[in-house]
């Protein structure tokens, strides 16, 4: 049976105040995800991803459950009634483990359905509610308007984790600096201060300071190389400078 997504994601105009740039980018990233997953067969989906202990089936199932988790946050922001992203970390992990054991066609259909639910939640979301505060899976308070960016980052990073032909150089150039912003925030209060000088895809350079004012410890490299290292996907051997030891990515 050939897997075909239920709908085509095409950019649509959004009311003023809606994060339509990120929403449309999520639709485009979702189409890339569909294309990559469509090429997998049963053997490939059982094969190892780049994440220790996870098959590609685990990664795909995680992306489905993440879509549902973010729908929960949008529901919370829209209604004012608390809907945590996940009931618990243990339940999240159990759902992924169980889901990864299903046959490929069911895994694909689940991904499609979850992605469509997220897209519908964004499309139907009231413009005034994008400013509502919710609690992200990692515990920080965020406005609902950042949820589409969370989803965008999740899709692209895990597309790389699928180890199926997508790499950090394939990340959308318009969003790389935002992905680095998010990656830097992961280490707030967790490492000694250091700075990163990054060459962005358009050739311009930008400096990030990690966990406080910059000091003598400086790391430099391309955006793709920096992101690979910050997210724990590469060892940083293609970067320049004295690399600090980073804690686990969360």
Q: What is the pLDDT along the chain (250 residues), one digit of tens a residue?
A: 334 444 444 444 444 446 999 999 999 999 999 999 999 999 999 999 999 999 999 999 999 999 999 999 999 999 999 999 999 999 999 999 999 999 999 999 999 999 999 999 999 999 999 999 999 988 889 999 999 999 999 999 999 999 999 999 999 999 999 999 999 988 888 888 899 999 999 999 999 998 877 666 789 999 999 999 999 999 999 999 989 889 887 6
Given a contact cutoff of 8 angstroms between Cβ atoms, the answer to whether 218 and 196 are in contact is yes
Instruction: Give the separation between CA 120 and CA 137, rounded to whole angstroms.
Output: 21
Alpha carbon dihedral 136, 194, 227, 47, in 10-degree steps, equals -80
The CATH class that applies to domain 175-241 reads alpha beta
Residues of the chain with CATH 1.20.120.450: 18-166
The alpha carbon dihedral of 140, 85, 100, 60 has a sign of: negative
Strand order in the sheet with 194-199: 205-210, 194-199, 218-222, 240-241
Residues of the chain with CATH 3.30.1050.10: 175-241
Question: What dotted CATH number matches 18-166?
Answer: 1.20.120.450
Alpha carbon dihedral 161, 106, 114, 248, in 10-degree steps, equals -30
Query: In the prediction, which pLDDT does 223 show?
Result: 95
The reported pTM is: 0.89
Report phi then psi at 240, rounded to 5: -110, 150
Query: In the prediction, which pLDDT does 10 show?
Result: 43
Query: In the prediction, which pLDDT does 217 show?
Result: 77
- Helix %, strand %, coil % of the chain (to 5): 50, 10, 40
């Amino acid at each position: 049976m050939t897997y075909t997504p239920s709908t085509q994601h095409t950019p649509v105009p959004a009311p003023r105040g809606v994060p339509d740039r990120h929403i449309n980018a999520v639709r485009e990233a979702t189409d890339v995800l569909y294309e990559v997953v469509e090429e997998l067969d049963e053997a490939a989906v059982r094969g190892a991803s780049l994440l220790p202990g996870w098959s590609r089936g685990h990664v795909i199932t995680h992306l489905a459950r993440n879509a549902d988790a973010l729908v929960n946050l949008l529901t919370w922001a829209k209604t004012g009634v608390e809907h945590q992203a996940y009931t618990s970390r243990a339940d999240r992990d159990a759902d992924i483990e169980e889901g990864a054991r299903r046959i490929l066609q069911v895994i694909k259909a689940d991904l499609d359905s979850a992605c469509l639910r997220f897209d519908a939640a964004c499309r139907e979301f009231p413009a005034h509610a994008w400013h509502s505060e919710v609690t992200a899976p990692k515990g920080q308070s965020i406005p609902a308007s950042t949820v589409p960016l969370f989803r965008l980052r999740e899709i692209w990073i895990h597309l790389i984790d699928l180890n199926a032909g997508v790499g950090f150089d394939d990340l959308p150039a318009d969003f790389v600096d935002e992905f680095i912003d998010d990656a830097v925030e992961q280490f707030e209060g967790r490492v000694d201060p250091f700075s990163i000088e990054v060459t962005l895809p358009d050739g311009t350079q930008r400096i990030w300071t990690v966990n406080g004012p910059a000091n003598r410890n400086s790391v430099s490299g391309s955006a793709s190389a920096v992101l690979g290292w910050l997210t724990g996907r590469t060892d940083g051997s293609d970067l320049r400078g004295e690399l600090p030891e980073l804690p686990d990515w969360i």
